[in-house]
Structure 1
Amino acid sequence: MKKTDLSPLQIGSILGGAAIMLSLAMGMRQSFGLLQPHMIRDIGITAADFSLAVALQNIVWGATQPFVGIWADKYGTRPVALLGVLIYIIGLVFLRFADATWMVTMGVGFCVGIALSCTASNIAMNITARTVSATKRGAAMGAVSAIGSLGLSIASPMTQSLITNMNWQMAVVGFLGLACVMLPAAFIGTRADRIEPDAVVGIPQSAKEAIVEALGHKGYRVLAIAFFVCGLQLVFITTHLPAYLDICGIDPSVGSTTLALIGLFNVIGSYLFGWLGDRYSKRMLLGGIYVMRSLALLMFFAVPPTPISTLVFGATMGTLWLGVVPLVSGLIVHLFGLRFMATLSGIAFMSHQVGSFLGAWGGGYIFSAFGNYDLAWKLAVAIGLAAGLFQMTMNIQPSERIRLQSA
């Protein structure tokens, strides 16, 4: 089946399936922080224990993403995505019956980390890029990323409601219900495997050759290093914002509403930056996101929070949340072509997840050591500003292989 043979309904169903899979995978993952205060009280784990589990999730996600990307490029996205959903369900079962630190670590850390490699943005963007034409690719990736953010708007209020009216264990049961919805979504979205790939651009190469080529490109190295800050800032917020608000005496519903606002405004931001990426410099847009996020963190944490300032912060961060995804994916395709997009995106994502590890674990460690989050948010601001300016210097000249083919 060729792209040109697809009807609008077929394209919409494939992109919709990928978006729903991404939406629920990320929505649940970003809502785990709401469980933290209750699990600390009920099963005796510490904030550092929970933070370490989330940090390990991000390291496992990052470490497995390149291998999952190679598998998806070689065998297709369907076996990857379906296996990922099943592993997600297993992880949630561990969490539901958790009564010790090791069960939280196994469920939230290892299982969910592997599952996210198979079901989150890298696979969803791969499906999208293979389904739509190059001229519409940026807007399409922005749209899928935008719809993908709605999962947080669903999962966060659902989680807080179940915790308030029942307990945190029932909130995990709610997660299991959402994970079951991911199965048909993943099956429909991975119909993209049946679409004939685009004609090879540049000299044909193996996965190993593609990796060597990418690592030798200065622009790719800058992209990957700057991507570090994205993971650090976002995971710090989703993991520690509910606990920070609890310490400041803010009603728990404000935390869940803020996370929901992040998901809602991310719909606008993701599509907007995907659309802008088709028209303006992707590297400048990407660097601008990192800088604006850092300024938003500075303004929020520099003064004691109020319910209004927290909601405004959520809306601001939501607009800047996943707009990086279509920009990073678009830059990788621009530099190296589409053939090994999942592989190269996965390698760049390792840097993102190192940042995620430090954002989750480092935030908890700093709080345990100093009794507050002051040093954590100051570091997040400083690193973000530096990374944003660094990103704006990225070399966006396509690889020599692509340039020779174009010539």
Structure 2
Amino acid sequence: MSSAQPPRLSALQVLACGAAIVTLSMGVRHGFGLWLQPITQQMGWTRENFAFALAIQNLSWGLFGIFAGMAADRFGAFRVLLVGALLYALGLTGMALSPTPGLFALTAGVLIGAAQAGTTYAVVYGVIGRQIPAEKRSWAMGVAAAAGSFGQFLMVPVEGWLISSFGWQEALLFLGAAVLLIMPLALFLREPGFVGGAAPRREQTILQALREAFGYRSFQLLMAGYFVCGFQVVFIGVHMPSYLKDNGLSPQVASTALALIGLFNVFGTYAAGTLGQRLAKRHILAFIYLARAIAIGIFLAVPLSPASVYVFAAVMGVLWLSTVPPTNAVLAQIFGVAHMSMLGGFVFFSHQIGSFMGVWLGGVLYDQTGSYDIVWYISIALGVFAALINLPVRESPIARGPQRVGAAA
């Protein structure tokens, strides 16, 4: 194969189709917290049963994300997106029909987690990294992340309406059919450089790229920060509806709050991606994590009311997924785009380990103490920790060849 760069897809085509896929995939998953009480009450399960399945989902998403990233780097995003869409439909159908917590963990957990690995950021960002010029890459990633946020704003009220109008099982079956729309959208992300299943030539093998990344301090710090991101957002996304209902607020307040998070995250992720073209990305990340800790602390300190919930949701929305564009952009900046989906998958796996801990600990500690207070306080402490560890990240491209070892050190 020639070493010449393959022709790029148009930026509009990449952004429009990639954003639509992320909107649908992320929009569906952001509403899963709305199913916690209907499912546990009808099936006679504990909150830990539900939380464990969602924790498995996040861990599965992270683990399969590594292999989805490898496959997308090797064969292109198109094939990975097709498989991911099918798994998503199967997982949602199984989630609706599972009679036991074990089968629920398999379908809502493993299958949907694997589906999300193949239909969300790591795969779509790989296409953006390869097809969008470097000078616009951070901005383009912000657009895609904003699309995922718009999906939350759009889909969470729709999911709440489906549950109230048709029942929680039927709502999941409707969503299972809807995610199949990812398949025709994927047709427009077929990259010219992957014709016939062959990837463009690279200067590094997979093992060389992994050895380089895991030996580089900044990569380790980014992974640690992303762990905190996962812990915070998934704990809040899954458990906040029940936290609000426990404190006497209506389910409509929770649905509105989740929708507000999605709406304001549209602005937050776009702003983070745009600012990443001009400011140091490590400073953007440090600010986001510290601001989250402050926002949670204030939310716990003031009297709980619909107004305080909506203000908190708006502030957290601005900060919600705004870590995604600068984190992925700095990965591409340091290591290049040849193995970007795979490296992004490993960083995201750390995010999902944090997600597992956040959602699972929320269920366990609630069942043991009758309160979410401990997990809220852990979230504050982790936010301060993540802000501090992102400050030393080095954003300059890694030196390869004779100078690589010294630069990595």
Per the TM alignment, residue 178 of structure 1 is displaced from its structure 2 partner at its CA by: 2.4
Which stretch of the first structure deviates more once superposed, 334-343 or 393-402? 393-402
Superposed CA offset, 1:327-374 (max 9, x none): 011111111111111111111111111100011001111111110001
CA distance in 2, matches of 1:250, 1:69: 41
CA distance in 1, matches of 2:113, 2:300: 29
Alpha carbons of structure 1 residues 5 and 288: separation in structure 2 relative to 1, 3 Å: closer
Counterpart position of 1:82: 82
Matches within 5 A, 1:287-326: 287-326=286-325
Which stretch of the first structure deviates more once superposed, 310-319 or 235-244? 310-319
TM-score normalised over the length of structure 1:
0.93
Q: State whether residues 25 and 179 of structure 1, in contact with CA within 8 Å, keep that contact through their aligned partners in structure 2.
A: yes
CA distance in 2, matches of 1:198, 1:338: 11
Counterpart position of 1:108: 108
CA distance in 2, matches of 1:322, 1:215: 24
Counterpart position of 2:147: 147
Counterpart position of 1:58: 58
Superposed CA offset, 1:144-190 (max 9, x none): 11112211112210111122223111221231232122222222234
Q: State whether residues 76 and 191 of structure 2, in contact with CA within 8 Å, keep that contact through their aligned partners in structure 1.
A: no
Counterpart position of 2:330: 331
Superposed CA offset, 1:37-82 (max 9, x none): 0111111111000000010111111112212211111111111111
Q: Aligned AA for 1:106?
A: L
Per the TM alignment, residue 13 of structure 1 is displaced from its structure 2 partner at its CA by: 2.3
Alpha carbons of structure 1 residues 23 and 295: separation in structure 2 relative to 1, 3 Å: same
Matches within 5 A, 1:248-397: 248-397=247-396
The residue matched to 2:400 in structure 1 has which SS?
helix
Alpha carbons of structure 1 residues 199 and 208: separation in structure 2 relative to 1, 3 Å: closer
Alpha carbons of structure 1 residues 386 and 5: separation in structure 2 relative to 1, 3 Å: closer
Per the TM alignment, residue 139 of structure 1 is displaced from its structure 2 partner at its CA by: 0.7
CA distance in 1, matches of 2:289, 2:152: 21
Question: Paired residues, what number?
Answer: 400
Which stretch of the first structure deviates more once superposed, 14-23 or 273-282? 14-23
Given the alignment of the two structures, is residue 228 of structure 1 paired with residue 217 of structure 2, yes or no?
no
Alpha carbons of structure 1 residues 189 and 150: separation in structure 2 relative to 1, 3 Å: farther
Counterpart position of 1:36: 36
The residue matched to 2:248 in structure 1 has which SS?
coil
CA distance in 2, matches of 1:5, 1:371: 54
Q: State whether residues 8 and 192 of structure 2, in contact with CA within 8 Å, keep that contact through their aligned partners in structure 1.
A: no
The residue matched to 1:401 in structure 2 has which SS?
coil
Matches within 5 A, 1:152-231: 152-191=152-191, 204-231=203-230
CA distance in 1, matches of 2:331, 2:134: 13
Given the alignment of the two structures, is residue 68 of structure 1 paired with residue 68 of structure 2, yes or no?
yes
Superposed CA offset, 1:277-314 (max 9, x none): 01000011011111111111111123442111111111
Counterpart position of 2:125: 125
Which stretch of the first structure deviates more once superposed, 157-166 or 250-259? 157-166
CA distance in 1, matches of 2:237, 2:83: 26
CA distance in 2, matches of 1:401, 1:235: 37
The residue matched to 2:109 in structure 1 has which SS?
helix
Per the TM alignment, residue 5 of structure 1 is displaced from its structure 2 partner at its CA by: 6.5
CA distance in 1, matches of 2:395, 2:59: 28
The residue matched to 1:323 in structure 2 has which SS?
coil
Alpha carbons of structure 1 residues 109 and 197: separation in structure 2 relative to 1, 3 Å: closer
Superposed CA offset, 1:251-292 (max 9, x none): 101111111111111111111000000100001101111111
Counterpart position of 1:95: 95
CA distance in 1, matches of 2:223, 2:80: 23
Identity of aligned residues (%): 35
Q: State whether residues 27 and 156 of structure 1, in contact with CA within 8 Å, keep that contact through their aligned partners in structure 2.
A: yes
Alpha carbons of structure 1 residues 176 and 19: separation in structure 2 relative to 1, 3 Å: same
TM-score normalised over the length of structure 2:
0.93
User: What is the root-mean-square deviation in Å for CA atoms of aligned residues?
Assistant: 2.1
CA distance in 2, matches of 1:178, 1:198: 33
CA distance in 1, matches of 2:148, 2:373: 31
Alpha carbons of structure 1 residues 265 and 403: separation in structure 2 relative to 1, 3 Å: farther
Given the alignment of the two structures, is residue 48 of structure 1 paired with residue 83 of structure 2, yes or no?
no
Superposed CA offset, 1:194-217 (max 9, x none): 6999996xxx11010000000110
Alpha carbons of structure 1 residues 288 and 5: separation in structure 2 relative to 1, 3 Å: closer
Counterpart position of 1:21: 21
Superposed CA offset, 1:77-120 (max 9, x none): 11111100100001011012123212321221000110111111
Q: Aligned AA for 2:272?
A: F
Q: State whether residues 262 and 319 of structure 1, in contact with CA within 8 Å, keep that contact through their aligned partners in structure 2.
A: yes
CA distance in 2, matches of 1:96, 1:356: 23
CA distance in 2, matches of 1:240, 1:327: 27
Which ranges in structure 1 are unaligned for 5 or more consecutive residues? none
CA distance in 2, matches of 1:226, 1:129: 22
